[in-house]
Amino acid sequence: MSYEGELLNACGVIDLDFSRTYVVAVSGSGPNVRYLKEAGKTELRRLRVDLPKPNDAFLYLERLMSERWNWAVLPNNCVAFAEEIIKEGGGTWASGSNCPTVATAATLSHRIQEFLARLEGEIYGLYGVPRF
């Protein structure tokens, strides 16, 4: 399966906001997979990570995207890619395992975080307050 999507030939074309950053696990696997709607995937888990230096993470992502990433199943996969960006942004999240399912397994702490984030979102939505 080849990549089907927009080709970006220049940096800075898409303005990404790394002030609220999440590690997201999606269903399915395979080489050159497309995500969510394009490939019929679903979001399995979402973990919030704090990045004290969000701009550094963004610039590092741009650099990584301009280079070839040599995928090597577990040693150098999507989890390793995310870990590198998080580390560059000053974050401390690491998988402990480069297996995506294990890396994003929801602990009790994460379940509580997810619940509170959902609750916060519902409250903001209920009162029509924009989120920043």
Structurally, how many domains does the chain consist of?
1
Q: In a 3-state reduction of DSSP, which class is residue 4?
A: coil
Q: For residue 34, report the phi and psi dihedrals to the nearest 5 degrees.
A: -95, 170
Question: What tokens were used for 103?
Answer: 């890396």
Containing domain of residue 70, as a range?
A: 21-127
Q: Is residue 9 part of a domain?
A: no
Contact call for residues 60 and 85 (beta carbons, < 8 A)? yes
- Tell me, yes or no, if the pTM score tops 0.85: no
Q: Is residue 1 part of a domain?
A: no
Question: What tokens were used for 64?
Answer: 């990584």
Q: How does pLDDT run along the chain (132 residues), one tens digit per residue? A: 444 556 666 666 777 888 889 888 777 655 445 656 666 777 777 888 999 999 999 999 888 888 877 766 666 777 888 888 999 999 988 776 666 555 666 666 767 787 888 888 888 888 887 765
Cβ neighbours for 39, distance < 8 A, ≥ 6 positions apart: 28, 33
